[in-house]
Amino acid sequence: MFKKVLIANRGEIAVRVMRSCREMGLGTVAVYSDVDAHALHVLEADEAVCLGQAEPAASYLNIAKIIEAAKQTGAEAIHPGYGFLAENAHFATACAKAGLVFIGPSPRVIEELGSKTRARQIMEKAGVPLIPGMLEPTMDADVLLAEAQRMGYPVLIKAVAGGGGKGMRMVAKAEEMREACASACGEAQKAFGDGNVYLEKNLIQPRHVEIQILADSHGNVVHLFERECSIQRRHQKIVEETPSVALTPETRQAMGRAAVAAAKAAGYVGAGTVEFLLDHDGRSFYFLEVNTRLQVEHPITELTTGVDLVRLQVEIAAGAALPFGQDDLAQRGHAIECRVYAEDPEADFFPSPGRLLVHREPKGPGVRNDCGVYEGFEVPMDYDPILAKLVTHGRTREEARQRMIRALQNYVVLGVKTSIGFLTDVLASEPFIAGQTYTDFIPRHFAGWRQSADDLELAALAYAAGESSQTNVASGPGKAAGWPTPWQTLGGWRL
């Protein structure tokens, strides 16, 4: 086992990885940009190395600087978290060349599965069901137009590299095709350095269901059941749950077998996720992609299976065999995750950077909050504005849902706009209660959402109360109003 691990990431995922490393008795090294000098992951690490300016290319995407930081601190392994360099084959190769262990799959596997068309080719040979679509990428609008005509509209244009909805466009008719191709290719080139795209048939009202896999270097592969991630904004998940209300035991088993077959076909080692689209009939499912890293939504799998996925990632990277087989795994209860962002749902979820004037986390039975910020922290405008992943676990879906609503109502953040009110309304909505969670959930049910007037009034009163409590007047109108005096706020200090 390693003695020290460098976490090549920031925010809540860096903090999450550090906590498992600490439980394992491993030293931790944080890296950070200049705007993150006082970030929580820096404060929680045993050591920290500044990489440079806020621009990701100068810091969190700078492979040479990260490798140097590992050498400088004596770290033997690097955990990439998710995002940034987590699915970068060049980074995994650079780690190996420097004598460092990359906690993830091999560079070859990352490269092959990172190309969505190459991944489709591998899955086709393995017998994994595929959505009708192209197996070769292109930037030629004429080729894409001909393929769309052959497939039939609507179609999805998808970037061959990367994820997060970038380089993706849904096209409903031929007249829109050329403009959509140019837009998708340009966005893909800017985001991933590769403007190639391909087409897939666009399914009507599917669900996004993924399977967590674990594979060791001894040939053992298991799945840890599914996560439903259909509630998305801009093709990015914001609410996830497990088990999925849509899967029958037979479909769950079939999807799990397909995910294991996919991992074996790719020669996968480590933790990963095989993503599928589940058709409206609830039985037919199709391969979407493989994420060669830890997923944002991994905590709900941990809560329902009792498995620490980060610990297993580290152990597998150190050469250990899986400590269990497929028959040893079972789901217990139901878990829901809500991603809490500093963003404005009323303005198309536009980021809302700024200082957290108040930050009060919810607590209670069955509540877990993987958080990367603290009160007084300045949320930078340079990175993904996620604050935390709030997770609840219950014996039933309804118990987990009610716990989530209470947790959201008790999550207090002032100073930036957040998605908390929006998420509360999503969890309380009739379509969510009924399990009607398809990928068009937000545009179908929450287009034009606005915060209720009652919520805004309550927030204003809370802020006013906080301001008045800091006034600390000892006489005059403040004293008459019952505001605290300095003697009530000095704690143990006395003249």
Residue 379 lies in a domain: yes
Confidence at 73, pLDDT banded by 50, 70, 90: very high
pLDDT in tens, 378-389: 999 999 999 999
Task: Select from 201, 229, 262 the last residue of a domain.
Answer: 201
Query: How many domains, in total, are found in the chain?
Result: 4
**What is the distance between the alpha carbons of residues 410 and 361, in angstroms, rounded to a whole number?**
7
pLDDT in tens, 229-252: 999 998 899 999 999 999 999 999
Query: Which amino acid is present at 259?
Result: A
**What is the distance between the alpha carbons of residues 129 and 219, in angstroms, rounded to a whole number?**
23
Check whether residue 150 and residue 227 sit in a common domain. Answer: no
Residue 114 lies in a domain: no
**What is the distance between the alpha carbons of residues 103 and 9, in angstroms, rounded to a whole number?**
13
Q: Percentage of the chain with pLDDT > 70?
A: 91
pLDDT in tens, 172-206: 999 999 999 999 999 999 888 899 999 998 888 89
Which CATH number belongs to the domain containing residue 175 in this structure?
Answer: 3.30.1490.20
- The radius of gyration of the chain from alpha carbons, rounded to an integer in Å, stands at 24
DSSP run (H or E) holding 270: strand 270-278
| Sheet strands (E) in 26-183 | 27-33, 47-52, 77-79, 101-102, 155-159, 169-171
Asked if 52 contacts 33 with a C-beta cutoff of 8 angstroms, the reply is yes
Residue 174 lies in a domain: yes
Confidence at 465, pLDDT banded by 50, 70, 90: low
Bridge pairing between strands 77-79 and 4-7: parallel
Check whether residue 428 and residue 473 sit in a common domain. Answer: no
- Whether residue 456 has pLDDT greater than 70: no
Residue 109 lies in a domain: no
Name, in order, each residue with C-beta under 8 angstroms of 488's C-beta and a sequence gap of 6 or more.
none
Task: Select from 201, 230, 250 the last residue of a domain.
Answer: 201
222 φ, ψ (degrees, to nearest 5): -135, 160
Task: Select from 201, 224, 249 the last residue of a domain.
Answer: 201
Q: Which two tokens stand for residue 324?
A: 């269990």
CA dihedral 455, 457, 462, 467 (to 10 degrees): 140
**Is 16 in the active site?**
no
- Whether residue 476 has pLDDT greater than 50: no
CA 5 to the chain's CA centroid:
21
Check whether residue 196 and residue 320 sit in a common domain. Answer: no
CA 296 to the chain's CA centroid:
3
Q: Which bin fits 491, alpha (ψ -120 to 50), beta or left (φ > 0)? A: left
Residue 279 lies in a domain: yes
* 76 closest CA partner among 92, 95, 57: 95
Check whether residue 227 and residue 364 sit in a common domain. Answer: yes
- Whether residue 129 has pLDDT greater than 80: yes
**What is the distance between the alpha carbons of residues 329 and 335, in angstroms, rounded to a whole number?**
16
- Whether residue 495 has pLDDT greater than 50: no
In whole angstroms, how far apart are CA 277 and each of 156, 247, 258, 273, 455?
Answer: 13, 12, 13, 13, 36
Tell me, what's the pLDDT at 467? 61
- Whether residue 481 has pLDDT greater than 50: no
Tell me, what's the pLDDT at 468? 58
Check whether residue 356 and residue 439 sit in a common domain. Answer: yes
**What is the distance between the alpha carbons of residues 466 and 460, in angstroms, rounded to a whole number?**
10
Tell me, what's the pLDDT at 235? 84
Asked if 295 contacts 212 with a C-beta cutoff of 8 angstroms, the reply is yes
Tell me, what's the pLDDT at 492? 55
Check whether residue 172 and residue 220 sit in a common domain. Answer: no
- Whether residue 433 has pLDDT greater than 90: yes
Catalytic residue among 233, 293, 368, 403: 293
Residue 355 lies in a domain: yes
Residue 124 lies in a domain: no
Check whether residue 379 and residue 416 sit in a common domain. Answer: yes
**What is the distance between the alpha carbons of residues 159 and 176, in angstroms, rounded to a whole number?**
17
Expressed as residue numbers, the domain containing 156 is: 132-201
**What is the distance between the alpha carbons of residues 109 and 275, in angstroms, rounded to a whole number?**
16
Check whether residue 184 and residue 219 sit in a common domain. Answer: no
Residue 428 lies in a domain: yes
* 158 closest CA partner among 142, 180, 176: 180
